[in-house]
Structure 1
């Protein structure tokens, strides 16, 4: 989505009411009540950037102190890599090998043979996931 050029439509500071809406949306979507104030702080500068991607999709990016923290695509909020570095348990994490990761960055789908799984893979291994559930992928030895 962000490999090709994109166009910035607008960039504004967030209002207090929009900050509360963002905090509520993050709390509901990620179930992180314990460190919600760290994810969407009260006194920090938060900017809303509206983008138009190369494919024509509209994306809203929320950045804190110039670092993108979340982006919203099709009414779904996703954390950025910067946010996942600070809060690695925010999403379900799958671990893979570096050669597989190169294929993923080129647009390939992650499949079970590309995962590093501890223990035995049983038929209900992926049973707790619905199609479209956000998750993160990390390399072996990297958080």
Structure 2
């Protein structure tokens, strides 16, 4: 079963994320030899990809034995992120927060099995201070 999570990106800040994955029994998931791919789109089925992260491109890194998935989207990139019209938030938003898109994160294991591990919505906390 796919877990769900909502991420909030502060516009203009580096978006640094580390996930530690567990199996259903609570043990750490061995990610050695895995490939990970995550895309963000304004809405499900949109032909436009707002953000594309993967181990293949080097934008996602793994510490397989420690079950860690890491990414770092620089502030220069998140500063360009803009609210997407027509995206309905899944939950109550904080003031200054706008819907940005939906994502899923898929893992391909060395056996070839592909699992969607995480999905949800990404919200954008609109910046006030102009970046450095």
Higher relative contact order, structure no. (Cα contacts within 8 Å, ≥ 6 residues apart): 2
**Scaled by the length of structure 2, what TM-score is found?**
0.24
Decide which structure has greater helix share.
1
Say which one has the larger Rg: 1
Name whichever structure is richer in strand by fraction.
2
